[in-house]
């Protein structure tokens, strides 16, 4: 089966670099599904989760925004911040959600409100991605014995 290269990078680090089968990313105008040999594309991203299918497994990541480029069967995501599901500190994201909600409820200047809304969306994206991996692991039950 055809694959494509996916690289997710931030200014600080390489978050993910693998050959993958499929990718779903939060494009600025909605969800973007990308398969191998996709036409060239450059788009902005909004806060959300990235789903990556690789060898029959789904992997999730959170992204807070940035850009996605498809060129020559290679997808590059230059993200403001990005974390793999297993790296996400759920309590930290929950606390960030609470802080943002409080700031929104109190009502401040437009600029502060906008910051709080983006903080809320970043944190919600982290919670979404982080929680994706729990049910999968639980569904698996006891580790399989080799037959
Ligand atoms: P917080 O208020 O908890 O710092 P934030 O949304 O302000 O959250 P960012 O400025 O988006 O945080 O990110 C700062 C750095 O911390 C980035 O490297 C990001 O990947 C990382 N990060 C933020 N929240 C989490 C989290 N819940 N789990 C793991 N890493 C996180």
Tens digit of pLDDT for each residue in 35-92? 999 999 999 999 999 999 999 999 999 999 999 999 999 999 999 999 999 999 999 9
| CA 144 – ligand 1 centroid, Å | 35
Tens digit of pLDDT for each residue in 30-39? 999 999 999 9
93 lines ligand 1 (CB under 6 A): yes
| CA 36 – ligand 1 centroid, Å | 31
Quick one: which of 135, 132, 133, 129 has its CA closest to 49?
129
Tens digit of pLDDT for each residue in 116-127? 999 999 999 999
Probe residue for ligand 1, chosen from 93, 102, 119 as the CB with the greatest number of ligand atoms within 8 Å: 93
Report CA dihedral (22, 59, 7, 91) to the nearest 10 degrees.
150
């Amino acid at each position: 089966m055809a694959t494509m290269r996916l690289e997710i990078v931030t200014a600080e680090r390489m978050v993910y670099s693998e050959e993958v089968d499929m990718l779903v990313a939060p494009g600025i105008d909605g969800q973007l599904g990308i398969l191998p040999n996709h036409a060239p594309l450059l788009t902005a991203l909004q806060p959300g989760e990235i789903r990556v299918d690789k060898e029959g497994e789904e992997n999730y990541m959170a992204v807070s925004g940035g850009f996605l480029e498809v060129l020559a069967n290679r997808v590059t995501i230059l993200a403001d911040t990005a974390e793999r599901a297993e790296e996400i500190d759920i309590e930290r994201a929950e606390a960030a959600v609470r802080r943002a909600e409080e700031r929104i409820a109190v009502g401040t200047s437009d600029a502060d409100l906008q910051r709080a809304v983006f903080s809320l969306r970043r944190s919600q994206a982290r919670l979404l991605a982080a929680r994706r991996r729990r049910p999968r692991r639980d569904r698996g039950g006891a580790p399989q014995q080799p037959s």
